[in-house]
Structure 1
Amino acid sequence: MQHTDTGEAGRPPLVVVPGMLCDASLWHDVGFPEGHDVHHVPLRRPDIGALAEDVLAAVQGPFVLVGLSLGAIVGFEALRRAPERVAGLCVMAANSGAPRPEQYAAWREMDGLIADGRFADVVERTLPDMFPDRSATPEGARRYRDMAHAVGPAAARAQLAAQATRTDAAGALRTVRCPTVVLAGARDTLCPPTFHRVIADAVPGARLTLLPDAGHLLPWQRPDAVKGALRELAAAVTGTTGTAPQSAAPSAP
C-alpha cells in the first residue's frame, strides 16, 4: 500500500483506488487537495469483498474515497460494509451494475490467455477501451502498456477473478449521505455516461459531471478537471469554500 503526502488535523485522508491494470501512476498528473493524506490501495486480491477490506484497512476513521472503474466498484463494496467511514465519495469511469453474461465470458477468456503466457495479448485487447472513442495516441498507448505491464499478470488474474464477484451496487449507493461527485468521460465506450447517470441518480445529492473529449482514463485525459473536482469535494467534506472545476461542464439530467 502506497502512501503519499502529509495531512493536517481535521482533514480526512483520501483513499485512492485505481482501475484494472492500473496502479498509482494513473494519478501522476492529478494534484490532490492540499492538507490531506493520500493512500493508494493496489488491487491484488481475487475478491471484491477482500479488496474492500483493504480499502477500509488503509486508514483509521473517516476518509474520502476516490475510485476509478474497478476501484470504484471496490469502493461501492466498502460503502456497503462501512458507510459511516466514507466522508466523501468520488466515482470515475464506473459501472454500478452486476456483471453481464458476456462479461463473465470475456474475463474467463482473458484469464485463459494470461495462464497461457499471453498477458501482452490481454493488454493489447484492453488498450482501445481506455481511450476516447477507442482511439489511442501513440504516447497514450505507450503509457498504458507501461502501466499495465508494471501491474503484471498475477495481479491481472486476481483482478479478473475479483470482477466476477461483483454485485449490483444500487442498494449501497442509496445509503450514501456524504458529498459525492461522479465524473464521466463523454467518449468513454467502456463505461458510457448512461452508467454514471444511474450512479448519480442513486446517490442523494450527487453531482454528475460530463468531461468532454475524455475516455476511460480520466486522470490522464482530463487531469485538471479531476483535480478541480477533488478539490471541490475535499472542500465540501471539510466545510471550507471550494472552487468548481472550470473545465468540467455538468451533464444534462
Structure 2
Amino acid sequence: MAERAVLLPGMLCDSGLWAHVEPELALPAVHPELSAPSITGMAEQVLAAADGPFVLVGLSLGAIVGFEVARLAPERIAGFAALDTNVAAPRAEQHESWRRMARRTRAGDFAAVVDDVLPTMYARADPPAELAGEFRGMAERIGSRRFLAQLAAQHTRIDARESLRGITAPALVASGAEDALCPPEFHREIAGLLPGSELHVVPGAGHLLPLESPVATAELLNRLFRRCPPAT
C-alpha cells in the first residue's frame, strides 16, 4: 500500500468535499492548494505538495489536474482514482459558459453564480438543505478570486486520453449514476483507457460523489489502496 493519498476537489470545492470520507480512509491524506490559473500550474502545485509516489484521487477538475500530473510525472503515481470527470477537451459551449460565469463574478454576482451551479451538483436539483449548505460553504471558502483562477484553468484543458494511457498503476474510475455534468458513459471511456482500472457507477448519486455517497466512496478508495504496491 502506498504511503499517502492526494485528494483533489472539483471546481468551487475545497477539502470539505472529502470531510465524510477522509476519516474512513486507510491512508493519510494530503490536500494541495489548487490556485494556479492553468491545469499545468495546478499539476505542478500537486507535485510540490507531496513527496514520493502517492495515490492520486481527483474529482471533476481535480481528476483533470490528475491527468496532467500523470503526464508530467507518471513515476509519481502509485494509484489513480478518477471520480465524476471528463477526459475530453472542452466543447465550445463550455468555454462560453465559463466566460459568462467569469463576467458575472467580476461584476460582483459570485453568490448568484454559485446558486445557478448548485442544482447541477447533486442527483436532485433541489438537494437536501445539508448537502446544499455543504456546497455553498465550500464555494464561499473558495471565493471569487480563486474561482476566477479555476475558470481560467478550465480554458487550458486539453484532451487527456494520451495521458491516461501512460498510467499503469492500479486505478479506480467511479461516477454517480445521476451525474448530469459527467455522466457514466464518460467513465466507461476513461476506464477503457486505463489498463489497471475498475469501473463503478454508484446508484442515487450525482456529481459530488463523496458528499452524496461517502460510505461507498470510502469503500471504493480503500479497495484501490489495497491494490496499490507497498511503499518502499
TM > 0.5 fold call: yes
Choose which of 118, 123, 128 in structure 1 pairs with 2:119. Answer: 128
Partner of 1:4: none
More RCO (CA 8 Å, sep 6+)? 2
Partner of 2:60: 69
Q: Distance in 1 between matches of 2:129 and 2:8?
A: 26
TM-fit CA distance, 1:35 = 5.7
Partner of 2:16: 25
1:193–1:39 distance in 2 versus 1, CA, 3 Å:
same
Choose which of 175, 181, 185 in structure 2 pairs with 1:190. Answer: 181
Partner of 1:48: 39
The residue identity in structure 2 corresponding to 1:187 is E
Can you list the C-alpha shifts for 1:179-231, whole angstroms capped at 9, x where unaligned?
Answer: 00011000000110011111101111311000000001111111011111111
Partner of 1:93: 84
Q: Distance in 2 between matches of 1:79 and 1:207?
A: 18
Question: Does the alignment pair 1:83 with 2:74?
Answer: yes
Partner of 1:202: 193
TM-fit CA distance, 1:66 = 0.5
The residue identity in structure 1 corresponding to 2:18 is W
TM-fit CA distance, 1:139 = 2.1
TM-fit CA distance, 1:41 = 1.6
Q: Distance in 2 between matches of 1:34 and 1:197?
A: 25
Q: Mean Cα displacement is larger for which, 101-110 or 31-40?
A: 31-40
Can you list the C-alpha shifts for 1:128-160, whole angstroms capped at 9, x where unaligned?
Answer: 110104332222212211111111000000000
Gaps of 5+ in 2: none
1:33–1:82 distance in 2 versus 1, CA, 3 Å:
farther
Partner of 1:176: 167
Partner of 1:7: none
Partner of 1:118: 109
Q: Distance in 2 between matches of 1:17 and 1:49?
A: 14
1:111–1:36 distance in 2 versus 1, CA, 3 Å:
same
1:135–1:193 distance in 2 versus 1, CA, 3 Å:
farther
Partner of 1:224: 215
TM-score by length of 1: 0.88
Can you list the C-alpha shifts for 1:38-73, whole angstroms capped at 9, x where unaligned?
Answer: 110232111000000011111121110000000000
TM-fit CA distance, 1:34 = 5.5
Gaps of 5+ in 1: 1-9, 240-253
The residue identity in structure 2 corresponding to 1:50 is G
Q: How many residues align?
A: 231
SS of the aligned residue for 1:132 comes to coil
SS of the aligned residue for 1:162 comes to helix
Q: Does the 8 A contact of 2:18 with 2:211 survive in 1? A: yes
Q: Pairwise mapping of residues 234-245 of structure 1 onto structure 2 (< 5 A)?
A: 234-238=225-229
Alpha carbon RMSD of aligned pairs, Å? 1.6
SS of the aligned residue for 2:120 comes to helix
SS of the aligned residue for 1:145 comes to helix
